[in-house]
Amino acid sequence: MSTISVKVLSAATVAADIRLLHLARVDGQPLPSFEPGAHIDLRLGPTLVRQYSLCGAATDGSSYAVAVKREPESRGGSKAVHEQLQVGSVLEISPPRNNFPVDADALHSVLIAGGIGITPLIAMARALLAADKSFELHYFSRSAEHAAFLEELRSGPLAMHTRLHFGLERGAVEEVLAEVLLRRPDGGHLYMCGPRPFMDVVQATARLDWPECYVHLEYFVAEPPKSSEGDISFQVALARHGITVTVEPGVTIIDAVRAAGVDLETSCEQGVCGTCITPVIEGTPDHRDCFLTAKEHARGDCIAVCVSRSRTPMLVLDL
């Protein structure tokens, strides 16, 4: 994948444990355009690549903005952003990709953010406001001090569309969500982003009246890896390359395919971003990603080859 050399224009703490970076091209040229919901890869080390949502104005080609929460259990990404990147630092990023777009035809959009999940949703909210679309934004955070973009949401143009929910226990969160999602408005679409436990609660509430096709979500972090205990080897045939590889227990499809000399584009390698989704021609996938929907899992016609495996001895992929 091609990359873009950028430098850090500014780096500021905008909430407890949240750092906001503005990035501009080293050569001074405009950055590629993007739509709200898009993310970029930050190459933070030789083998350290992390994905962060673009939270700046989609119409501003002079710089990108990303807000990164420092995670206590960081695998290195948020720690590098908070400790290593300073004004003037140079790094490589990917062009924007969008697996979480806004439906331009929605008559009403409900945006629900938990914690750092506000980053793609505030970009959506700004775009919906600029387009004079009907929407509401609900932001759940453990406290005001932990809430990013607070002044903009409290007193800026988005304030009239925003409800802030701070320090709520799970029961109170469920009550608010039940009220918000009680009945899907005609033409309504739901967008959610945040920590997995929070997202699980939102999804469970939305299932009561929101068909899956009107619910859109994005995970920042994958589920804990499923134990490889009980995994067995299987074969993967690459239809277009005319080769077959064996995938042993503890080895991913990606690893086996690359070992055979075939390079595949990947990004998160956690089953979150969707970059490596591949069509399945024959066989039954053992889905272990959190990108595809339940219906897509049930269809079995595509697979996230970075984490998923096979339930059948042979899996034939359109590769």
- The pLDDT value recorded for residue 265 is 79
> The whole model's pTM is what?
0.82
Q: How confident is the model at residue 1, as a pLDDT?
A: 61
* 283 contacts 312 by C-beta, under 8 angstroms: yes
Q: What percent of the chain has pLDDT over 90?
A: 80
pLDDT for 225 beyond 90:
no
Q: What pLDDT score was predicted for residue 310?
A: 96
Q: pLDDT band at residue 270, thresholds of 50, 70 and 90?
A: confident
CA nearest to 165, candidates 117, 130, 132: 117
**Rounded Cα gap, residues 310 and 300, in angstroms:** 10
pLDDT, position 269: 81
State the average pLDDT for the chain. 93
Among candidate residues 231, 188, 215, 187, the one with its CA nearest the CA of residue 293? 215
| Over residues 183-198, mean pLDDT | 94
Mean pLDDT of 257-282: 87
Q: How many Å apart are CA 5 and CA 27, to the nearest integer?
A: 8
Could you read off the pLDDT of 120-140 as tens digits, one per residue? 999 999 999 999 999 999 999
pLDDT of residue 72: 78
pLDDT in tens, 36-78: 999 999 999 887 888 999 999 888 899 999 999 998 776 678 9
**Mean pLDDT, range 168-180, rounded to an integer:** 96
* Structure confidence at residue 218 (pLDDT): 87
Segment 82-115, tens digit of pLDDT: 999 999 999 999 999 998 999 989 999 999 999 9
Q: For 175, list phi and psi in degrees, rounded to 5.
A: -65, -45
Cα separation, 148 vs 268, in Å, equals 24
What's the pLDDT at 156? 96
Report the pLDDT value the prediction gives residue 223, as an integer from 0 to 100: 59
Whether 224 has a pLDDT exceeding 70, the answer reads no
pLDDT tens digit sequence for 200-214 = 999 999 998 999 999
- Coil, strand or helix: which one is 141? strand
User: What type of residue sits at position 254?
Assistant: I
Tens digit of pLDDT for each residue in 135-165? 999 999 999 999 999 999 999 999 999 999 9
Per-residue pLDDT, 263 = 87
Beta partners for 51?
Answer: 41
Answer yes or no: are the C-beta atoms of 37 and 218 closer than 8 Å.
yes
Q: Which of 192, 311, 217 is nearest to 303 (CA)?
A: 311
62 vs 59: CA distance, rounded Å: 9
Amino acid identity of residue 189, one-letter, is H
pLDDT level of residue 294 (50, 70, 90 thresholds): confident
Burial of 229 (0-12, 13-18, 19+ CB in 10 A): exposed
Q: Which domains does the chain have, with CATH numbers?
A: 4-93 (2.40.30.10), 108-219 (3.40.50.80), 234-317 (3.10.20.30)
Q: Which amino acid is at 153?
A: L
State both tokens at 87.
């004004």
Q: Which residue reads 């399945």 in tokens? A: 280
The angle formed by the CA atoms of residues 71, 68 and 119, to the nearest 5 degrees, is 120
What Cα–Cα distance (Å) separates residue 178 from each residue in 78, 100, 201, 205? Answer: 33, 24, 10, 6
Residue 11 has pLDDT above 70, yes or no: yes
Would you call 26 helix, strand, or coil by DSSP? coil
